[in-house]
């Protein structure tokens, strides 16, 4: 139900300011290009959103990435502008963003900003918008960042856990239950732009390859729902995207092969890269996988960060 005036909107708000943590995400999950994604407990962006009376978006960055502060050029800004347009009686938002997820990392940096902004703003408005509404708004941020409206980072960021995007038009998002999983990531300090990573993909594929890929996606969803680690491992295969995109990521093949030897269930490129993720069934294995990733990238001489984390079941969370 829409409130009658701007003054009533602000007066009825639970809070006039809120601080949230927006999780990083792993899109595609190897075989599920643009349809599968999962939220991570670490890393995550910190954002504070404040209600203001004027129906505008003001953005402040408190990091060193130099991202645009003009709302129409910022992923959080375009998402919030769409939210304002959807309101009968409009208010505005002042946003302070502390990015912990490096842009171009492949860990859902743009999704964290756009999804985090609309979830925080919706909280201030007493949750007048549904999660599907929020995904639609946040996808405008993804379109600004990559040229394409996709939800495989946005959906898990908002819903938490593992999500399947059955359709964008109309939007149809399914939350997928999953067993305990440990996620190890290595983030080489190079940038792979999502838009560039999309442009190198093949425009046509063989039917036999498509059939094999569909089988892996279906099996991975079934494996997650059945808590079947063995089937998860067998299903983490991508014969369409990974062979092409992996050429943009130094030492990818060696990292993957050695992590599998260390006991990982499987893994691959996180989003469009350059980050590489591996899934494990227990923390001990996940730590051994991290050690392996560090050994490989130390040898390359490329600066890198690693994370050992778990699946975030909540999505964007309020912290203050």
Beta carbons of 121 and 49 less than 8 angstroms apart: yes
Nearest CA to 13 among 23, 3, 22? Answer: 3
Q: By three-state DSSP, how is residue 198 classified?
A: helix
Torsion (CA) 162, 208, 244, 42 in degrees, nearest 10: 10
Catalytic residue among 25, 142, 288, 309: 142
Q: From start to end of 99-225, where are the E strands?
A: 162-167, 172-176, 182-188
* Token duo for residue 192: 């792979």
Contact predicate 289/263, CB 8 Å: yes
Residues 116 and 45: beta-carbon distance below 8 Å: yes
**What phi and psi, each to the nearest 5 degrees, are found at residue 44?**
-160, 145
Catalytic site residue 142?
yes
194 is catalytic: yes
Label residue 100 exposed, middle or buried (CB < 10 Å: 0-12, 13-18, 19+): middle
The single residue of 9, 48, 184, 194 carrying the catalytic annotation is 194
Q: How far apart are the first and last CA of the chain?
A: 26
Spatial distance between the Cα atoms of 66 and 194, rounded to a whole number of angstroms: 18
The closest alpha carbon to 237, from 219, 225, 254, belongs to: 219
- Strands laid side by side in the 304-310 sheet: 266-269, 276-280, 182-188, 304-310
Strand partners, 67: none
Residues annotated as part of the active site: 142, 194
């Amino acid at each position: 139900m829409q409130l009658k005036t701007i003054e009533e909107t602000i007066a009825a708000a639970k809070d006039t300011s809120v601080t949230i943590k927006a999780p990083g995400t792993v899109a595609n999950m190897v075989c599920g290009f643009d349809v599968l994604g999962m939220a991570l407990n670490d890393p995550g962006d910190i954002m504070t959103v404040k209600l203001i009376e004027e129906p505008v978006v003001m953005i402040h960055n408190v990091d060193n990435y130099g991202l645009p502060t003009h709302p129409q050029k910022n992923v959080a800004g375009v998402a919030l502008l769409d939210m304002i347009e959807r309101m009968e009686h409009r208010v505005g938002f002042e946003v302070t963003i502390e990015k912990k997820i490096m842009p171009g990392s492949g860990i859902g940096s743009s999704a964290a900003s756009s999804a985090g902004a609309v979830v925080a703003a919706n909280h201030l408005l007493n949750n007048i918008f549904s999660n599907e509404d929020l995904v639609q708004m946040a996808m405008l941020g993804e379109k600004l960042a990559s040229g394409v409206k996709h939800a495989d980072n946005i959906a898990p960021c908002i819903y938490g856990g593992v999500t399947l995007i059955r359709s964008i038009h109309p939007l149809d998002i399914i939350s997928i239950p999953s067993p305990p999983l440990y996620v190890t990531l290595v983030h080489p300090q190079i940038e792979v732009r999502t838009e560039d990573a999309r442009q190198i993909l093949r425009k046509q594929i063989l039917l036999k390859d498509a059939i094999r890929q569909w089988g892996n996606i279906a099996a991975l969803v079934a494996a997650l729902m059945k808590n079947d680690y063995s089937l998860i491992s067998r299903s983490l295969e991508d014969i369409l995207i990974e062979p092409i995109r992996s050429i943009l990521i130094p030492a990818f093949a060696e990292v993957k092969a050695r992590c599998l030897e260390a006991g990982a269930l499987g893994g691959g490129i996180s989003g469009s890269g350059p980050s590489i993720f591996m899934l494990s069934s227990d923390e001990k294995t996940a730590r051994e996988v991290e050690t392996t990733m560090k050994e490989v990238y130390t040898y390359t001489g490329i600066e890198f960060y690693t994370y050992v984390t778990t699946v975030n079941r909540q999505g964007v969370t309020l912290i203050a």
